[in-house]
Amino acid sequence: MKEKNELLMHIYETCDMGVKSTTKLIDLLRDKDNKIKKLLEDELKEYEKYLVKSEKLLKKNKVEPEGAGVMAEMMAKMSMKMDVKKDNSDSNIAGILTEGFTMGIINMNKKIESYRDDCDNSIIDLANDIVKFQEKEIKNLKNYL
């Protein structure tokens, strides 16, 4: 039971951080003339969709959702703000996002492998869907590099 909850929490935290980070990045680019903004808005919708799915699974399994830690959120926002201030070009933003998605894929795949035998298919399927989404976004981001 605990393993299933750990994978579910990881899924939720990933989506929660994705929503918050993407929202912040869109806000930082609001008054800028970046072509990547439409892609970011689509990414946000996907993260929100997966966040809702993970919340439903958590509720079904009677687990209270916990987002990423306050410190992690603060560090991510500060880092993003500095990166965008230094270079807000579409290629720089695409590079940063590609690195983030790559790390996310690696971490999610590790969790899937660790908990594959302990989780029901709905949780594994959701984790795999998120990996596919992140892989698709890396391909989309290549147009901006």
118 pLDDT higher than 70: yes
pLDDT of the residue at 81:
86
**Mean pLDDT score, 120-136:** 96
Output the domain CATH number for residue 140. 1.20.1260.10
CB 54 within 8 A of CB 8: yes
pLDDT of the residue at 129:
98
Kindly indicate the confidence band of residue 76, based on its pLDDT and cuts at 50, 70 and 90: confident
pLDDT of the residue at 67:
64
Which sign, positive or negative, has the C-alpha torsion 64, 65, 71, 74? negative
Parent domain of 106: 2-144
Query: Which of the two residues, 105 and 65, has the higher pLDDT score?
Result: 105
Which pLDDT tens digit goes with each residue over 38-50? Answer: 999 999 999 999 9
CB 123 within 8 A of CB 53: no
51 pLDDT higher than 60: yes
Q: How many domains does the chain have?
A: 1
What is the b/e burial string over 89-106, where b = at least 16 CB atoms within 10 angstroms of the residue's CB? ebebbbbbbbebbeebbe
pLDDT of the residue at 25:
94
Kindly indicate the confidence band of residue 79, based on its pLDDT and cuts at 50, 70 and 90: confident
